[in-house]
Amino acid sequence: MAKIEIIRGDITRLNVDAIVNAANRSLLGGGGVDGAIHRAAGPQLLEACELLNGCNTGDAKITPGFRLPSKYVIHTVGPVWKDGKFHEKELLASCYRQSLRIAYQNNIKNIAFPNISTGVYGFPKQEAASIAIETVQNFLSDHPEIDKVIFCCFDDENFSIYNRLISNNIVIKRVISKQEIQIVADLASIIWNEYYIPIIGQEQVDYMVRTFQSSEVVEKQINNEGYEYYLIEYLSKPSGYISIKLKGKELFLSKFYVVKEKRGTGLGTAGLKFVIDRAKELNAKAITLTVNKYNINSIKAYNKMGFKNTGSIVTDIGAGFVMDDYTMSYEL
């Protein structure tokens, strides 16, 4: 499961262990998300907050969630934006860090943040989002005990900023170690089941996974057959893979898959861009591939990316199975 999620909506509706409140130093309620949280939690929340003695900017304190679906509320106080010269950035980062620290201390597994300081307090949204994402990622890499952090965006602008920043968070890396090869094999099994069972049935999928994408086969392809494998990671999570092989002046795109749940996140486009760059580096004149004739969605996707149909081919893959494919090419 992805560690970071972006959703659009009202944070008071979320059924998570904890939601974070963008409060003020009195902790006695206010407008914006603070007002919404107090209204949804009921008057007991104010009573609990009255016992906390306020809170410094950049710090955080915890109460129960009372009538909220979430078990806890972590109240943090964001900085008021002046001009960036009053430690606003550090203080905002501190809000995210201290909130997560309290979450961790209270054994909270999933937590949702609003876009702290970007309302009444006037922090520039783009900058606030970068700080929020970076701080959360850093904390998560040291605290794997936290399962999930949700950025709950209320306004469209924040929602699209977060999506843009996170979709840039794609890493494509060469598969080298045995561990990475195993990750490819595991992904292959998931993805081929997702995509191919409706097309060719379970029996043939099992055969193909075993015969073409087991860790032993992938290892052999890399070490003895000139294939390059790449993992596509989204927010540090393996979400797809690519395999290519140079054949004369053509770069053969042997495998190019993204797990279903990650489709539409820009991984396909990023993957293709990567393949094109690699093809140019290798002085290839075209990228070629074969795609199952009945895999309509992939065919459409390749066409959209600029691949042209060049013919068809039926390949005997053993055990009485055949693959009925189109061939496609992308001129460089």
For ligand AR6, give the closer residue by CB, 136 or 275: 136
- As measured in angstroms, the least distance from the Cβ of 123 to ligand AR6 is 7
- CB neighbourhood size of 288 (10 A): 17
Distance between CA atoms of residues 105 and 82, nearest Å: 32
For ligand AR6, give the closer residue by CB, 22 or 267: 22
For ligand AR6, give the closer residue by CB, 70 or 239: 70
Distance between CA atoms of residues 230 and 248, nearest Å: 21
Binding site for ligand AR6 (CB under 6 A): 10-12, 22-24, 30-34, 36, 78, 114-121, 152, 154-155, 158
CB 26 within 8 A of CB 171: no
For ligand AR6, give the closer residue by CB, 39 or 220: 39
CA 192 centroid distance within chain: 21
Residue whose pair of structure tokens reads 């939601």 in the numeric block: 19
Measured between alpha carbons, how far is residue 91 from residues 26, 136, 181 in Å? 17, 14, 42
The CA-based diameter of the chain, rounded to the nearest angstrom, is 75
Assigned token pair, 180: 């990475």
- As measured in angstroms, the least distance from the Cβ of 97 to ligand AR6 is 16
- As measured in angstroms, the least distance from the Cβ of 323 to ligand AR6 is 49
For ligand AR6, give the closer residue by CB, 117 or 239: 117
CB 9 within 8 A of CB 35: no
255: three-class secondary structure by DSSP:
strand
- As measured in angstroms, the least distance from the Cβ of 225 to ligand AR6 is 52
- As measured in angstroms, the least distance from the Cβ of 70 to ligand AR6 is 12
Residue 135 identity (one-letter amino acid): T
Q: Exactly one of 34, 155, 156, 325 is catalytic; name it.
A: 34
- As measured in angstroms, the least distance from the Cβ of 99 to ligand AR6 is 13
- As measured in angstroms, the least distance from the Cβ of 47 to ligand AR6 is 17
For ligand AR6, give the closer residue by CB, 127 or 219: 127
Distance between CA atoms of residues 268 and 266, nearest Å: 6
CB 115 within 8 A of CB 151: yes
Measured between alpha carbons, how far is residue 257 from residues 182, 231, 239, 261, 264 in Å? 16, 10, 9, 12, 13
For ligand AR6, give the closer residue by CB, 154 or 195: 154
Q: Is 147 labeled as catalytic in the residue annotation?
A: no
Distance between CA atoms of residues 314 and 312, nearest Å: 7
The beta strands (E) that lie in 94-222 are given as 110-113, 148-153, 170-174
Assigned token pair, 119: 């309302």
- Give the contacts of 167 (CB within 8 A, at least 6 positions apart): 265, 266
Kindly list the catalytic residues: 34
